[in-house]
Amino acid sequence: MVNDVVVSVLLISGALLSLAAAVGLVRFPDLLSRMHAATKPQVLGLLLLLLALAVEFESWVLVPLLVLCWVFQLLTSPVSAHMVGRAGYRTRHLRRDLLTLDELDDVVARAAVDHGPGAHRQRNGGHAGQEADGVP
């Protein structure tokens, strides 16, 4: 009976975290803040749901696959968030009026000046990292 209660609580809170992601997706004003809401409550939500699965079936054979499933999400979700976020910043999909501070913008502006007047500012936008790699 204790198991059933634990499973229920884990299921409901996991589902609520999915709802948190969706509510954030609808309510937040620009792409980058939506990314926060969308990608990360999912990590915790999946953890809770997998825990519910482990408690319900009470089998140790299951644990490696569940751990694998979660570790996979731990490894992939920041990478895809970074890729989408970087693409969003470079293609100006953010509302600058909502930022209280933008320290990347100064770097981008300086990089544009260093590349001379011919350099297109947007093209150079956010390339600070790649220039360090020696990638044109």
Partner 1 sequence: MSRQRIPLITELPLVIWLVLVWGALWQDFGPGTLVFGAIIAYAVVNFFYLPPVELTGRFNVLWVVPFLGRFLVKLVTASLQVFWLAVSKGPTLRNAVVAVQLRSHSDFLVTATGHAISLIPGSLVLEVDRSTSTLYLHCLNIASAEDADAVRRDVRATEAWLIRIMGSGQDLAALRRERAEQ
Partner 2 sequence: MIVAYVAGGILSLAATLALYRAVRGPSILDRVLALDVVLAIIGAALVLNMIVNRHLDNLILLVTVSVIGFIGSVTVARFVTDRK
Phi, psi for 102 (deg, rounded to 5): -140, 95
Select the residue interacting with partner 2 from 6, 33, 73, 105 (CB under 8 A): 73
Taking the C-alpha atoms of residue 13 and residue 80, their distance in angstroms, rounded to an integer, is 25
Stretch that binds partner 2, among 59-67, 100-108, 109-117 (CB under 8 A): 59-67
Alpha-helical runs (H) found in 28-40: 31-39
The residues, ordered by sequence, that sit 6+ positions from 88 with a Cβ below 8 Å of its Cβ are 31, 32, 35, 94
Q: With CB cut-offs between 5 and 8 Å by kind, which of partner 2, partner 1, none does residue 51 bind?
A: none
Between 45 and 112, name the residue whose CB sits nearer to partner 2. 45
The one-letter amino acid code at 38 reads A
The one-letter amino acid code at 18 reads S
Site for partner 2, rule CB under 8 A? 7-8, 11-12, 14-16, 18-19, 21-23, 25-26, 31, 34-35, 38-39, 42, 45-46, 49-50, 52-53, 56-57, 62, 65-66, 68-69, 72-73, 76-77, 79-80, 83-84, 86-88, 90-91, 93, 122
